Structure 1
Amino acid sequence: MSVYTASPIRYPDLGASALMTRRAWWLVVLNFLIPGSTQVLAGNRKLGRFGLAATLVMWLIAALVIVAYSLWRTATLSIVTNSFALTAAQALLAGYAVLWLVLTIDTLRLVRLIRARPNSRFWIAAFTVILLAVSVGTASAGAYYAGVARGTLNSIFGGGAASVPPVDGRYNILLLGGDAGPDREGLRPDSLSVVSVDADTGRVTMIGLPRDMRKVPFSEGSPMGELYPNGFRKCDVSACKLNAVYTEAELRHQDLYPNAKSTGSTPGIEATKEAAEGITGLTIQYYALIDMQGFADLIDALGGVQVNVQKRLPIGGDEQLVGVVEWIEPGKQKLDGYHAQWYARSRHGTSDFDRMERQRELQTAILQQFTPANVLTKFQAIAQAGTQVVKTDVPQDMLGYFTNLAMKSKEQPVSSVELTPANGIDQDDPNFDDIRALVRADLYPPTPTETPAG
């Protein structure tokens, strides 16, 4: 028996063009499916074994992640959103991309293209290049996106706040919207709400807080509560309204919050959290500050947002609608970032309470559009916008937990509690007992009881 017959892959008959063509196709496909196998069969076995070992490791890691995600989703999400895990993933994927490139180039050498049939040479070479782009490109893209994700998460979740447990089964996050530039001194939040999430089911309730609400109380025992035991009435700023609490604490009472900066917050945010607690009766664990211009960038990154416009809204112009540059027309529309920003903030011809409802509508729509497919296909743009949009003190080690809750929340409707006249709330002279009862009724609805059989 000749050596060619015994091992046609390693010792092929160079004169048999049909055999060399079939051998070339096999080697190219094997290199793609099982990197390293081509070298073991037809080339440097030491390099091949290294490639096979690396391939096995990657397969094992992928299998472990899939199994772990199925069994322990929260823990897995916590690991894969950790900076160290993302750094390790970036290094592994980059190394594997280089290894795959080396193995593919070596495979093209082993193929001995000149020995294949003339009419097959181009297609073999082209197919090899395509598979090279798919394999090396995918691994390189994975390494790149791991780096982008790490940078984004470190930028957004870089505060020093500690992880805390839920209170009464819920996590409550203060959501602030404003024009957050390089210098935030004097900022009066344009929108304020509390996002309350059931720590088990992920059910979300958004509580809209009127920015012009007066006489707001602060949580018992808080720095601002001790300074204003009877509520925010006689203050050091021009108008003692809810959205002025931020300004007062930032400019006049920074000494009350010496640890705010070290925990990723500011005196203004901490004081506003205390006001939100006093109004709703809830414990606010964390905050998120949304830059309104960055908010528009995020919507553009998502590809727009679907809303049902109820009323014609002006873009620009004064109270007499002089100088209006454009109108947002009624009906179902897909708004880009610019128009969505005006949809949330347009004032003329509508009340602040209308604006609150529109802002909550946008928040809900964006939450629903954060699907895995949408995020993956537009990952880089969303990540870039995210660093400009959000400032928060949610610790990074809780990101996996909250991501899991967010996935649960998408499976059920988002509830809304608006503190508006429609719900009997007078923002100039509010009854805070009624407000807290309204909030409790939504967060903790009575359990239906069975009617005894008659």
Structure 2
Amino acid sequence: MSTAAPSRPRTRATVIEQRPLRNPDIGSPQVMTRRGWWLIVLNFLVPGSAQVLAGDRRLGRFGLGATLALWTVLVLVALGAVLMPSQTFAIATGAFIPDFLAWLRWVPLTLVQVAAVGYAVLWIVLTIDTLRLVRLVRTGRLARFAIAVVSIVLLVLSGSGAAWAAQAAGTTRDAFADLFGQSAAVVPPSDGYYNILLLGADSGEGRDSMRYDSISVVSINAETGATTITGIPRDMPHFPFAPGPMQDKYPNGHQGVANATCGWGSGINQLRTEVEVCQDGDALYPDARSAGSTPAVEATKDAAEGILGIQIPYYVFIDMHGFAALVDALGGVDITVEQRLPKGGGPAYSGQPAEDWAIGWIEAGPQHMDGDTAQWYARSRYTTSDFDRMKRQRVLQEAILAQSTPQNVLTRFQDVAAAGTAIVETDLPQGLIAPTLVDLALKAKEQPVTTLELTPEGGIDEYDPDYAYVQQLVQATLHPPAATEDPAS
């Protein structure tokens, strides 16, 4: 009958050998230095693990739980961004919350912001506790300084990431709330399209006579995301209105006014001044301001609907005075300039050469434009026609769309959001932005933008347009005849 060998008594040396992180040989600087580096690395890679292995297990378990929860959320967000980007955006911004609870749409991103700040604070606590566990005075002389510096650097890196996430969440929440109306009703697509009036002008102080320099309509196919931009000449005359107060006032088409206060002529760009300076716009459109619009915008919507023959429920106004900031926030735009263009306010007298008044030039050829150059590219008109300027504005719009990739917007998010809220006004409702328009925008990235300019080159008489023909042209562009299959094939 055999007998079991006597068990080896558990001495302090045995404990040290089996659990060197929790019970190290404090008399060996080499062991303590190795242990210190391990704890610092573990704290950075898996916050909470250093405490579980060598310190307060309760604090460590809490840190590990928070870390695993964070990793789980990040993985789910990453999968959502790849597989369901529009739905993920809708959840993050609260756009999925019904309109009668719209005041709660700030909650999701606020929770993200609070969680990011809380995790950053927890990481700081864990790092300080890890340095306590390292016992720097027991490590090698050089290692004491190195471990402390590396710990601080890693803490700054991790804390900066958490701080950026918290700031991005807050910026997104505030920008979304500032830009898009919470109570505006979502209008279903009209004849298969979401149509948005796009206006551009300067809105600086003292601009009572401000007129829209750029007028176009963006039509987004509700199924495919295919985008068509229709440019309306700002001086288009005697246009009809869609049913409404302006049609009641001008049943036979806009006749305009002829005085210095209200503007000259009957061009569509005169409507802002006419409606808001020389008429009681609030009486004409009493519900405009409560819906996030203005009487001038509503009158221009009615004009654009009358011209194009389509329903246009929404608008986006871009303040060209601050437009350069958005281009700079995107890192500039790439455009091939067809002809040399002057910068500047124009000649002081008729016939003055551009060389005498230009403050600079945009040279022909490929250009990477900053915001200031892009702004002058869109506005320069004294050496070209208004129709040339319309084309350039459309080229610039397409260049900005091309530059607004998810990756670019994400890396420059803070600047883009700040610039956007400063220069953009719109009545687009939050409930339409996500997931609908976000999803369509992702689809549109894969397709070319179609442009339609209502200019003489397109067969439009600039002095006496045939509006019935214009509407036929718009319909043919938005709803091209389906290709018929060859019976012989």
Q: TM-score, normalised by structure 2?
A: 0.88
8 Å contact from structure 2 (residues 200, 319) kept in 1: yes
Aligned residues: 453
8 Å contact from structure 1 (residues 77, 404) kept in 2: no
Alignment of 1:110-259 (within 5 A): 110-158=133-181, 160-181=183-204, 185-219=208-242, 221-235=243-257, 237=262, 238-251=264-277, 252=279, 253-259=281-287
Task: Tell me if 1:56 matches 2:68.
Answer: yes
Shift of 1:56: 2.0
Distance 2:282 2:257 in 1: 15
Distance 2:207 2:295 in 1: 11
1:286 corresponding residue in structure 2: 314
8 Å contact from structure 2 (residues 117, 166) kept in 1: yes
Distance 1:160 1:222 in 2: 23
Distance 2:359 2:291 in 1: 43
1:265 corresponding residue in structure 2: 293
Deviates more, 1:412-421 or 1:109-118: 109-118
SS at match of 1:293: coil
Shift of 1:70: 3.9
Shift of 1:159: 6.0
Deviates more, 1:439-448 or 1:258-267: 439-448
SS at match of 2:334: strand
SS at match of 2:322: helix
Equivalent of residue 466 in structure 2, options 412, 423, 431: 431
Amino acid paired to 2:176: L
Amino acid paired to 1:145: A
1:351 corresponding residue in structure 2: 385
Alignment of 1:2-151 (within 5 A): 2-82=14-94, 83-151=106-174
8 Å contact from structure 1 (residues 32, 131) kept in 2: yes
Amino acid paired to 2:248: E
Deviates more, 1:179-188 or 1:87-96: 179-188
Amino acid paired to 2:90: S
Deviates more, 1:417-426 or 1:335-344: 335-344
Distance 1:257 1:218 in 2: 14
Equivalent of residue 361 in structure 2, options 313, 316, 327: 327
Shift of 1:403: 2.4
Shift of 1:274: 0.9
Equivalent of residue 301 in structure 1, options 329, 332, 345: 329
Task: Tell me if 1:392 matches 2:415.
Answer: no
Identity %: 53
Distance 2:206 2:226 in 1: 35
Q: For residues 170 and 38 of structure 1, do their structure 2 counterparts lie closer, same or farther at Cα, with a shift above 3 Å needed?
A: same
Distance 1:204 1:402 in 2: 12
Larger Rg: 2
Instruction: Kindly provide the CA deviation profile for residues 55-91 of structure 1, in whole angstroms up to 9, marking residues without a partner as x.
Output: 1221222222233334433221112233322211111
Shift of 1:234: 5.0
2:409 corresponding residue in structure 1: 375
SS at match of 1:448: coil
Amino acid paired to 1:394: L
8 Å contact from structure 1 (residues 294, 386) kept in 2: no
Shift of 1:387: 1.6
1:443 corresponding residue in structure 2: 478
1:275 corresponding residue in structure 2: 303
C-alpha RMSD of matched pairs (Å)? 1.8
Shift of 1:397: 2.8
Amino acid paired to 1:378: R
Distance 1:184 1:52 in 2: 59
Q: For residues 80 and 355 of structure 1, do their structure 2 counterparts lie closer, same or farther at Cα, with a shift above 3 Å needed?
A: same
